[in-house]
Structure 1
């Protein structure tokens, strides 16, 4: 700065021109997600979405918000930023899907230490890809440059999803009955939970590098850890609309121990047979290298099942077949039993 000149926002570390360039680079990705109901274009103070007149009798809006968490540390270390946006969308839309809602639109919040337009465009391209997979529109967001708050090469990413469901079709646990069957839908890996423990074990304790090729994984460790969270909307929505799904549990933080009880009505429990699905190698890698107790694994990670679906016993074959035809790997994982609102495992966790 020349003596006598006043300070500028750019001199303080916020580059408005770079922010505008980032918006230009991300526009094409965002517009590809637009669906009927989107009003206007990018650049407004708020995103606009209109529910189709006459389509709904008693529409209920369902909203969810979440972030990617410390999985972002893996993206920083690998300098790869095109997948974490999928995670941001997945964590939100899978949550609202659990209540029977069709995802309508999504907004993202991205806070960066330094505005690098090309990197921001990569991140938002991932968000747009997640929206495409979920069938929802990316109708807005915010990118904030925050020098001195985040390191220059780091950022945080969160999102907000809104969906809609008819009031009479809302999944609230009231349709769950004893004798119903629990189907487990395979996860794509760790998804976006437990990364503080995973990083501590694999990178700090075991000393693996992210480019380390691990035979049990069939690829480099970094590729495994950055695998995006699976989005289940396209597979489950048709079954939800037909009333074939009685309950859903998204297996996120809290794992298979704490998430299923959130959907169980009073007086019922869920019994899961741990022999009914294969646990992916990455979880055993963490458990063995960190000497992590079995109960801690099941309370922290999804252990290979990203979503649980409760269905009538007589619908097992057709629902399983339809999910598999939609690209899901599905296991008959358990059943609903009388109980105290908890998960019982066969065999027990030790």
Structure 2
């Protein structure tokens, strides 16, 4: 059995009149995200990456001679995901952005779709279902705002073997909350009951968001130049990427979600289930002040794979790793899993959920209470990490 719902909504103030708008004949700009959370860009070889300003810092937290956990050990192969995207790019040229751009008159519709990965497994174990919907909305709307687009509407897909109405209501309540935080409309969705397909008490989620931006206002990174500043917006924690590795670390620790995060006055469940920050209003406000040239959503692939995607060829990022406070949950994950530094930087957001590239003048307007000045644009490819 499946059920769908559609909400009537007034979008007249945001969406062009579809009966009058002339859709451009140019091919749309596409986006594609494989299961590991990567899109088009390949790995950057962080271990031996150099720039004009020096050598990347490589730090191992493992014991001598002892190999730490990796994302691949947890069953997620980022390189395989990148290879799949490369193959798909041959069939659908132009993919790779955080959101897909479709020309519509003098604007672009910007679309994004995503899920919350194996964070769902922790929701099942912890019984926390009222915030996972926020994560779902965040993963899509945070992608489409990287183009400067204002989210218009969101749709969700909820699938389970046996519909538990009370549980589903909690999940949908989180989706509604996420849409309110994004100032967009929950336009509709699909509830699929598929007996025998999922374990009892479990479900799957995916979401789809559409936004709009004027063509002359689209943020595409083309104007980024050497000396531009990277501003990092704080994350609430792990957000919704890297949980296959998180779960391996949790198993290795011997602790449960009810146990306290060592040295902190919160449980591991509270730390790991903290909902993903929705950056829509904050980022659109910064954009409105001018000077924003590029935006990267730090999801699967971490800093290493996501930041270079917004740069013109020949430019890269110099990141000062001591320019922000890494939240305790990441330090715990790294210590318990003996995860090497470059693996952390390619898997997790490490406390920075969104990176904006601004002119120096515009960066001066961003107070420290809003975002950290984490680096700058240099002549190079990829990302170089330094201690400042």
For normalisation by structure 1, the TM-score amounts to 0.82
Deviation of residue 343 (structure 1)? Answer: 0.5
Q: 2:302 corresponds to which residue? A: 255
Is the counterpart of residue 300 in structure 1 residue 347 in structure 2? yes
RMSD of the TM alignment (CA)? 2.4
1-side partners of 2:221 and 2:182: how far apart?
23
Larger C-alpha radius of gyration, 1 or 2? 1
Which of residues 340, 345, 349 is equivalent to 2:385? 345
Which of residues 250, 261, 268 is equivalent to 1:214? 261
Q: 1:119 corresponds to which residue? A: 167
- 2:9·2:187 contact (CA, 8 Å) conserved in 1? no
Deviation of residue 214 (structure 1)? Answer: 2.4
2-side partners of 1:261 and 1:92: how far apart?
20
Q: 1:333 corresponds to which residue? A: 374
* Uncovered stretches (5+) of structure 1, i.e. residues with no partner: 1-13, 24-29, 40-48
Q: 2:125 corresponds to which residue? A: 77
1-side partners of 2:12 and 2:200: how far apart?
34
- 1:35·1:136 contact (CA, 8 Å) conserved in 2? no
Q: 1:291 corresponds to which residue? A: 338
CA 1:242 to 1:35, structure 2 compared with 1: closer, same or farther past 3 Å? farther
1-side partners of 2:292 and 2:284: how far apart?
9
Deviation of residue 146 (structure 1)? Answer: 1.1
2-side partners of 1:127 and 1:64: how far apart?
16
Deviation of residue 171 (structure 1)? Answer: 1.3
For normalisation by structure 2, the TM-score amounts to 0.74
In structure 2, the residue corresponding to 1:122 is in which secondary structure?
helix
Q: 1:6 corresponds to which residue? A: none
Deviation of residue 169 (structure 1)? Answer: 1.1
In structure 1, the residue corresponding to 2:367 is in which secondary structure?
helix
Is the counterpart of residue 165 in structure 1 residue 205 in structure 2? no
1-side partners of 2:127 and 2:12: how far apart?
33
Note the 1:1-350 alignment, pairs <5 A. Answer: 36-37=10-11, 50-51=15-16, 58-202=106-250, 204-320=251-367, 324=369, 328=370, 330-340=371-381, 342-347=382-387
- Alignment length (residue pairs): 305
- 1:112·1:154 contact (CA, 8 Å) conserved in 2? yes
- 1:248·1:309 contact (CA, 8 Å) conserved in 2? yes
1-side partners of 2:16 and 2:173: how far apart?
26
Deviation of residue 217 (structure 1)? Answer: 3.4
Deviation of residue 100 (structure 1)? Answer: 1.1
Higher relative contact order (CA 8 A, sep 6+): 2
2-side partners of 1:158 and 1:119: how far apart?
16
CA 1:103 to 1:149, structure 2 compared with 1: closer, same or farther past 3 Å? same
* Uncovered stretches (5+) of structure 2, i.e. residues with no partner: 22-103
- 1:99·1:172 contact (CA, 8 Å) conserved in 2? yes
- 1:107·1:161 contact (CA, 8 Å) conserved in 2? yes
